[in-house]
């Protein structure tokens, strides 16, 4: 009788570069997640954000487990999801790798102190309810405590195949 491969053996057969390319074929929106932890502002560009539940109102995003942002995300702390417009491509790049990020953007403190990027399409402020392991990432689950639609006009910034894109309406 043939023995089934273990999960680790199956994982070893997956080419990580090819998997990354395949994952990149799924188009997503682009967000900047912000937090204020003991007076220090944190921010990071994230495309792994999604709504989770309307009742109760929950969202989630994934963060690399080595990210310095993790320190700001204890259960009970708050964070804000800023949904970026296509005009905010530079801000997405800034929060993906920049320093002194908050000196270069316009923001206001939201509920709990997390910065709301003022030119974003919308924001969602949440309280962390869970942190779950997810391989080389941690899954952050948050309960929505505040929202705001900042702009009724404008298109979201998209991410596809490793690059940011403007989205065109389907015709």
112-150 pLDDT, tens digit each: 999 999 999 999 999 999 999 999 999 999 999 999 999
Confidence of residue 2 (pLDDT cuts 50, 70, 90): low
pLDDT reported for residue 8:
75
Q: What is the 3-state composition of the chain as percent helix, strand, coil, each rounded to the nearest 5? A: 20, 45, 35
Q: Is the CA virtual torsion 126, 127, 133, 137 positive or negative?
A: positive
pLDDT value for 22:
80
> Are the CB atoms for 107 and 118 separated by under 8 Å?
yes
Strand partners of residue 127: 78, 143
> So what's the pLDDT on residue 88?
93
Residue 149 pairs in a beta bridge with 122
Q: How many angstroms separate the CA atoms of 128 and 35, rounded?
A: 11
150-164: per-residue pLDDT in tens? Answer: 988 888 988 877 777
Residue 111 pLDDT class (50, 70, 90 cuts): very high
Q: In this predicted model, which residue has the larger pLDDT, 4 or 49?
A: 49
pLDDT at position 124, please?
97
At residue 3, the pLDDT reads: 66
- What does DSSP say about strands 107-109 and 163-166: parallel, antiparallel, or unpaired? unpaired
| pLDDT digit string, tens, across residues 20-78 | 788 777 778 899 999 999 888 999 999 999 999 999 999 999 999 988 888 889 888 99
CA angle 122, 126, 132 (to 5 degrees): 120
Residue of 168, 136, 149 lying closest to 70 (CA atoms): 136
Provide the 3-class DSSP secondary structure of residue 61: strand
CB-side exposure of 155: number of CA atoms within 13 Å?
12
Q: Which domains does the chain have, with CATH numbers?
A: 29-152 (2.30.110.10)
């Amino acid at each position: 009788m043939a023995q089934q491969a273990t999960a680790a053996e199956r994982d070893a057969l997956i080419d990580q570069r090819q998997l990354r390319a395949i994952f990149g074929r799924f188009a997503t929106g682009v967000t900047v997640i912000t937090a204020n932890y003991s007076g220090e502002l944190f921010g990071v560009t994230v495309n792994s954000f999604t709504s989770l539940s309307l009742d109760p109102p929950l969202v989630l995003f994934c963060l690399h487990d080595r990210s310095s942002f993790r320190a700001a995300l204890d259960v009970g702390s708050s964070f804000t999801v800023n949904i970026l417009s296509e005009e905010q491509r530079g801000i997405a790049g800034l929060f993906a790798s920049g320093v002194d990020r908050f000196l270069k953007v316009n923001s206001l403190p939201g509920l709990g102190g997390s910065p709301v990027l003022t030119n974003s399409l919308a924001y969602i402020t949440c309280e962390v309810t869970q942190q779950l392991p997810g391989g080389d990432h941690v899954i952050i689950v948050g309960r929505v405590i505040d929202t705001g639609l900042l702009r009724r006009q404008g298109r979201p910034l998209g991410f596809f195949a490793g690059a940011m894109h403007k989205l065109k309406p389907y015709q």
